[in-house]
Amino acid sequence: MVDLEKDIQFIKGVGPNRATLLNKIGIHNLKDLITYFPREYEDRGKTRGIEELMHGEEALICAYPVGRINEIRIRKNLLLCKLIVRDETGSCQITWYNQPYLKNIFKPNIRYKFFGRVSRIGGKIEMQSPVYEPEESNKSTGKIIPIYPLTYSLTQNTIRKIIEEGLKEVLGNLDEVLPEYMIKKYNLDAYNTAIKQIHFPDDFESFNKARKTLAFEELFSMQLALLRLKNKYETNKPGIEFSKNAKMSDVINSLPFKLTKAQLRVLEEIDKDMESSKPMNRLLQGDVGSGKTVVALISAYKAVKSGYQAVIMAPTAILATQHLESFNDILKDSGIRCELLISGISKKKKENILERLKNGEIDILIGTHAVLEENVIFNKLGLVVTDEQHRFGVRQRSIIVEKGNNPDVLVMTATPIPRTLALILYGDLDISIIDELPPNRKKIETYAVTKGMEQRVNNFIAKNVNEGRQCYIVCPLVEENEEIDAKSVMEIYENYKKNIFPNYRVEYLHGKMKPKEKDSIMEEFKNGNIDILISTTVIEVGVNVPNSNIMVIENAERFGLAQLHQLRGRVGRRRISIILYIKISRKLTNY
């Protein structure tokens, strides 16, 4: 029997030092190793003629060295090693950096394979720092090669060898997950085959079948777990029957704006749930700016007017503070007492809040993860609302729910999820959708552009800032990183401040800053004292700045769909907006 809990350091080729590196990427045992799947694949199987090569593509060539390597010393720490290679169609110059040992590697009249990115400018074909090996070897070429997410000091070759050793220990001995009839019905792989093919596929057809199998197995297992969870809710003790006399219409009629038909429809569904004896477990899905917060506010109003407390859990202190302002503004004449609980408040103030909450002197508590702490005790919790559901797990949701006596639960998300997928991912929840935007929300135009259009983008930013508008620039990194080819906040900030936009007010924002610094910058941006804000995704859920109508996302291929959608929601609050994704990688497709 295979011991999948075997410590990773005891796998051949690992040891204590490499085990520490593997632990950093979440690999602690044999099971973690074999389920650490590649993030992408390189097709190094098909050889191309040199003259067929296209600029920017990655390709495999098989060619003879022409002469010896030419070494060029550029400066003290930079040595270029250049080699001309030729096949039946043409020649290619190959360049390596600081690798003097290569001059003894390549022999005349012996064919070698080279795999790397092609540069073709003015008829000259080049390849920089390619993978290479003799023609007869197939260790690094001649097949599909997996590419894994890595940490510093851990190379692709190292992780591949370790995974190969791990697979040797388990293949043929892994228990089948799915029943045989299901494997046949849906044309899936056996589990052992799928695990091998997902790491080292024979061809892309085999990879696709393995991926389908593992995805099916994962979703099937998740669905069973969620159905079990839903059955637990349904067979559990009865929920709270909120008062029919606590009418949502009382607060709806007092709003300074009209609700959309979609909001009213969703509130009707929630109202019906809250007055039922069955505990509400509902997912509220709606685009950023569609008005989910006011739906949560009205639901909390009903809970409080029925004699219960409500809690609103937000992923960031900025968003929680924004919610408190909105709640106080709308509920100021209703006698409902709202309070904010975030990690940044003083110890004395926190103790006062916890005491008042326990005594029932606070009706609606709005906070971050701080509301999950053990010392947060409610007097009579009736409604739990989690904002930005993708930031919280099922376990965190369960912790807050346990602070009440089977309270109603409303989870909200702005991530667009197809209904079929939502039924799978949130099988324990009923689903409501706000599919209509308020009248003040404008259409967001989205474009994918290349680096060649950077000057046009900068001109567009300048035009809009000159007209009194503001702009976001979003980057995947805080600082430059030699291991990652992507733009950083500090790199762009320095360039914008000194070179591109020296006459504009440019500032930066990132997660490593102190909370007070971040809040101060966002407040300045909100007040119009900053023209261009360069940031990481900390603005993904944050303060609404209606005057910001442009967003440029650098290296958009490094962000997930949920993040891109959340980021879109930072613009378009008033004026017609344009959001631009600047890409470097060819792998990005238009969103």
DSSP secondary structure of 318-384:
HHHHHHHHHHHHHHTTTT--EEEE-TTS-HHHHHHHHHHHHTT--SEEEESGGGGSTT---SSEEEE
Please report the pLDDT score of residue 550 as a whole number. 84
pLDDT at 236: 60
Under 8 Å between Cβ of 103 and 81? yes
Residue 376 in tokens = 């947060």
Looking at residue 589, what is its pLDDT?
Answer: 37
Q: How far, in Å, are 61, 66, 100 from residue 104 at the CA level?
A: 21, 14, 9
pLDDT attached to residue 37: 94
Return the structure tokens found at 3. Answer: 């011991």
Q: Taking a C-beta distance cutoff of 8 angstroms, is the pair 135, 111 a contact?
A: yes
For residues 258 and 267, give the distance between their C-alpha atoms in angstroms, rounded to a whole number: 14
Mean pLDDT confidence for 130-154: 87
**What is the DSSP code string of 115-146?**
EEEEEEETTEEEEES-EEEETT--SSSSSEEE
533 or 226: which carries more pLDDT confidence? 533
- E strand residue ranges, 345-463: 364-367, 381-386, 408-413, 430-434, 444-449
Separation between Cα atoms, residue 535 and residue 532, nearest integer Å: 10
Q: What is the pLDDT of residue 452?
A: 75
Average pLDDT score over residue span 470-497: 74
Give the separation between CA 350 and CA 39, rounded to whole angstroms. Answer: 44
The answer on pLDDT for 119 being more than 60 is yes
* Structure confidence by residue, pLDDT tens digits, 284-341: 888 767 888 899 999 999 999 999 999 999 887 777 888 898 899 999 888 899 999 9
In this structure, are residues 29 and 16 in contact, taking their beta carbons and an 8 Å threshold? no
Superfamily of structural domain 444-582 = P-loop containing nucleotide triphosphate hydrolases (3.40.50.300)
| Torsions phi, psi for 475 (to 5 deg) | -125, 155
Question: Which residues have CB under 8 Å from 420's CB, separation 6+?
Answer: none
In the chain, where the domains are located: 45-142, 248-434, 444-582
Look up tokens 């990115």; give the residue. Answer: 117
- Which structure tokens are listed for 75? 């400066």
Quick check: helix, strand or coil at residue 182? Answer: helix
> In this model, does residue 543 exceed pLDDT 80?
no
Q: Where does the pLDDT of residue 421 fall: very low under 50, low under 70, confident under 90, or very high at 90 and above?
A: low
Residue 469: pLDDT band (50, 70, 90) is confident
Q: Give yes or no for a contact between 187 and 58, defined as CB atoms under 8 angstroms apart.
A: no
For helices 204-235 and 191-199, the axis angle rounded to 10 degrees is 120
Do domains 248-434 and 444-582 share one topology? The answer is yes
CATH of domain 248-434: 3.40.50.300
Parallel, antiparallel, or unpaired for β 40-43 and 91-97?
unpaired
**Pairing status of strand 91-97 against strand 78-86:** antiparallel
Name which residue leads in pLDDT, 12 or 565. Answer: 12
Q: Rounded CA gap, 146 and 129, in Å?
A: 19
Question: What percent of the chain has pLDDT above 70?
Answer: 85
The Cβ of residue 13 has, within 10 Å, a number of other Cβ atoms equal to 12
Higher pLDDT, 244 or 419: 244
For the chain, helix, strand, coil in percent to 5 are 40, 25, 40
Q: How far apart are CA 148 and CA 28, in angstroms?
A: 16
Stated as kind and residue range, the H or E segment containing 18 is: helix 15-24
Average pLDDT over residues 122-133: 91
Helix (H, G, I), strand (E, B) or coil at 530: coil
Distance CA 496, CA 72 (A): 35
- Close Cβ partners of 327 (under 8 Å, ≥ 6 residues apart): 297, 300, 312, 336, 338, 364, 366
C-beta of residue 403 within 8 angstroms of C-beta of residue 373: no
Distances in Å between the alpha carbon of 59 and those of 111, 124, 162, 208, 448?
A: 16, 16, 26, 22, 25
pLDDT tens digits, residue range 487-512? Answer: 678 888 888 888 888 889 998 888 77
Counted residue by residue, the chain has a size of 591
What residues contact 467, with CB distance under 8 A and at least 6 apart? none
What pLDDT, on the 0 to 100 scale, is given for residue 166? 93
CB 283 within 8 A of CB 422: yes
The domain defined by 45-142 carries CATH number 2.40.50.140: yes
Partners of 117 in the β-ladder:
58
Please say if the pLDDT value at position 425 is more than 90: no
- Residue 96 pLDDT exceeds 50: yes
What is the pTM assigned to this prediction? Answer: 0.59
Instruction: Give pLDDT, residue 562.
Output: 64
